[in-house]
Amino acid sequence: MFCFQCQETAKGKGCTVKGVCGKEETTSNLQDLLIYNLKGIAVLAEGLKAGGVDVGRDVGLFVAKGLFTTITNANFDDTSLVLWIKQSLEVKKELKDKLDALTPGPAKDSLLKKIVGLFVAPPEAAGEIALHDSALWFDDNEPNYQKKAQTVGVLATQNEDVRSLRELLILGLKGVAAYADHAAVLGVEKDEIYGFLLKALASTTEDLSVDEMVGLVMKTGECAVTTMAALDEANTNAYGNPEISEVNIGVGDKPGILISGHDLKDMEELLKQTEGTGVDVYTHGEMLPANYYPAFKKYSHLKGNYGSSWWKQNEDFETFNGAILMTTNCIIPIKKKNTYKDRIFTTGVVAYPGIKHISAIEDGRTKDFSGVIKVAKNCAPPKEIETGTIVGGFAHNQVLALADKVVDAVKSGAVKRFVVMAGCDGRQKGRAYFTEVAEKLPQDTIILTAGCAKYRYNKLNLGDIGGIPRVLDAGQCNDSYSLAVIALKLKEVFGLEDINDLPISFDIGWYEQKAVAVLLALLFLGVKGIRLGPTLPAFVSPTVLNVLVDKFDIKPIGDVDADIEAMMQGK
């Protein structure tokens, strides 16, 4: 196996024996094979499109879901991945049939030539041929999967810089795919998003110039902005605009269900189905922002948030006592000694061997959570691990409603600087940096956050500036979009030409591939001087890093005091 897609990859280079995340070698290989087939689908779809044949949204959505299931901490289950691969072969077959059904003649001939011819390996890269037959591989014999997988993974691209740019693109696409899937579940789909997913994925099988590849990586940032905007539209249309909310972090006296991950549709279904059952609902990790939405706040049995961020789930799930529903990443390995193994459920693209999975019924959206509720009813109420509240709900609509207050505070000098500390949390010790920065930032600064990164400082009680809390949480990682909207609005209000002239610094924590999409979105919006940590991505080669440094002044996080001093000087 070889996987280097997340921040905690082994030795900062790549996992080769077993994932630091717990992913087994066979699982990693199957994920590679799934990606290979998704590339094949993309190649066929692009070819058909060139021939004037519409492949339809289903293909785009399938590719999005397939990419999403390979994201870090989502699918640890070989049986599930084999099913994904078999489905991908079926989709490929359908596309191939469409191709075969075209009337024979010069048009069809040139299309076939395009599909096969466009994507043949350059002569000097004979070892790379495996990547380029992705459209034409139809072996559905499962025993062959592992062997085939070993020829089509990340290392099949031998040139380090080409590999780096292709993977930067694919990993950004995984983040885009995750957000596109969330929006689709709520009925918002955009052809331009699926169109780009297919085009960009197919491009990774082509022999492109460095400039072309860099261009596509930048386009991924643009597509990430479009996708996060679509998800924002989907979320706010369905559930209203997030509003300032105090979220209880204590517990009630009834048994509960703890819902984690990012899928708000699952949240809605669960709240509806648990109403009047005597079972309370609590959020965990990235589901905390659900407490900010009017449509969810109206349920009195939504009790608040329990525990901390994803990597603390072993402890949090033990003491919670009740049923647990993982709607997306980040799920972490469940050990034999974990008492919660019989009361945890997965759904959507998440899967874990031996753990009950809840699939959508008929319409592909509705889910039956009665099994989760039944388990919860027989559980003890959660054990109290903390008391009090945390405040959040500062998505763009809410912050813009306070715009006058915010602008006055900047003009009067009461607020000197905003520091965006959004992104991911993780287990690595180096992430204490973000807590220290939050603690040591001058009192006249405001932290803007989104994603699970907030758990490093959201219970610190950092006070407020004239009634504006010093930590403004916009929501989930995808709500980084809100932070961009806020920054663009401030730029307009202050009459500035360049977003980088605002008193805003970016100090981002990353872990998995949604953060890659968010980072590319920020670069697309022209943000420069981003600090990134706790370490730089292993999939960025020294040459590609130079490009990012030259073009965008990206830098690694460093010493806390030195970074704060530099940020306060706008550096």
Supply the minimum distance, in Å, between the C-beta of residue 6 and ligand SF4.
Answer: 3
- Binding flags for ligand FSO, 429-458, as an x/- string (CB under 6 A): ----------------------xx------
Residue closest to 280 by CA, chosen among 263, 261, 305 = 305
Supply the minimum distance, in Å, between the C-beta of residue 536 and ligand SF4.
Answer: 14
If the CB atoms of residues 481 and 511 are measured against ligand FSO, the closer one turns out to be: 511
Supply the minimum distance, in Å, between the C-beta of residue 69 and ligand FSO.
Answer: 13
Residue pair 480/521 in contact (Cβ under 8 Å)? The answer is yes
If the CB atoms of residues 10 and 545 are measured against ligand SF4, the closer one turns out to be: 10
- Binding flags for ligand FSO, 385-424, as an x/- string (CB under 6 A): ---------------------------------------x
Provide, for the chain, the percentages of residues in helix, strand and coil under a 3-state DSSP scheme, each rounded to the nearest 5. Answer: 55, 10, 35
Q: Is the peptide bond before 242 cis (omega within 30 degrees of 0)?
A: no
Among 133, 167, 479, 512, binds ligand FSO (CB under 6 A): 512
Supply the minimum distance, in Å, between the C-beta of residue 13 and ligand SF4.
Answer: 9
330 binds, among ligand FSO, ligand SF4, none (CB under 5 to 8 A by kind): ligand FSO
Binding residues for ligand FSO, total number by CB under 6 A: 15
Q: Helix 25-50 crosses helix 78-101 at what angle (to 10 degrees)?
A: 20
Residue with tokens 């691209």: 157
Supply the minimum distance, in Å, between the C-beta of residue 284 and ligand FSO.
Answer: 10
Site for ligand SF4, rule CB under 6 A: 3-6, 8-9, 15, 19-21, 23, 28, 72
- Binding flags for ligand FSO, 26-65, as an x/- string (CB under 6 A): ----------------------------------------
- DSSP-derived secondary structure for 81-125: HHHHHHHHHHHHHHHHHHHHHSPSSHHHHHHHHHHHHHTPPPGGG
Supply the minimum distance, in Å, between the C-beta of residue 507 and ligand FSO.
Answer: 16
44 binds, among ligand FSO, ligand SF4, none (CB under 5 to 8 A by kind): none
What is the C-alpha separation between 34 and 272, in angstroms, rounded? Answer: 35
511 is a contact residue toward ligand FSO (CB under 6 A): yes
Residue closest to 512 by CA, chosen among 552, 539, 547 = 539
Residue pair 453/434 in contact (Cβ under 8 Å)? The answer is yes
- Convert 487-526 to b/e letters by CB count within 10 Å (16 or more is b): bebbbebeeeeebbebbbbbbbbbbbbbbbbbbbbbbbee
Supply the minimum distance, in Å, between the C-beta of residue 513 and ligand FSO.
Answer: 8
If the CB atoms of residues 6 and 548 are measured against ligand SF4, the closer one turns out to be: 6
8 is a contact residue toward ligand FSO (CB under 6 A): no
329 binds, among ligand SF4, ligand FSO, none (CB under 5 to 8 A by kind): ligand FSO
480 is a contact residue toward ligand FSO (CB under 6 A): no
What is the C-alpha separation between 522 and 541, in angstroms, rounded? Answer: 20
Supply the minimum distance, in Å, between the C-beta of residue 63 and ligand FSO.
Answer: 19
Among 213, 330, 415, 471, binds ligand FSO (CB under 6 A): 330
172 is a contact residue toward ligand FSO (CB under 6 A): no
What is the C-alpha separation between 571 and 387, in angstroms, rounded? Answer: 39
Q: Is 227 helix (H, G, I), strand (E, B) or coil?
A: helix
21 binds, among ligand SF4, ligand FSO, none (CB under 5 to 8 A by kind): ligand SF4
What is the C-alpha separation between 2 and 569, in angstroms, rounded? Answer: 41
Contact segment (CB under 6 A) with ligand FSO among 42-50, 186-194, 408-416, 508-516 equals 508-516
Q: Is 245 helix (H, G, I), strand (E, B) or coil?
A: strand
Among 292, 310, 317, 506, binds ligand FSO (CB under 6 A): 310
> β-strand 471-473 against 445-449: which pairing, if any?
parallel
Among 77, 189, 268, 286, binds ligand FSO (CB under 6 A): 286
476 is a contact residue toward ligand FSO (CB under 6 A): yes
State which H helix or E strand residue 461 sits in: none
> β-strand 504-509 against 417-420: which pairing, if any?
parallel
If the CB atoms of residues 21 and 149 are measured against ligand SF4, the closer one turns out to be: 21
Phi/psi-derived region of residue 9, left when phi > 0, alpha when psi is between -120 and 50, beta in every other case: beta
- Contacts with ligand FSO, residue ranges (CB under 6 A): 262, 285-286, 310, 329-330, 424, 451-452, 476-477, 511-512, 514-515
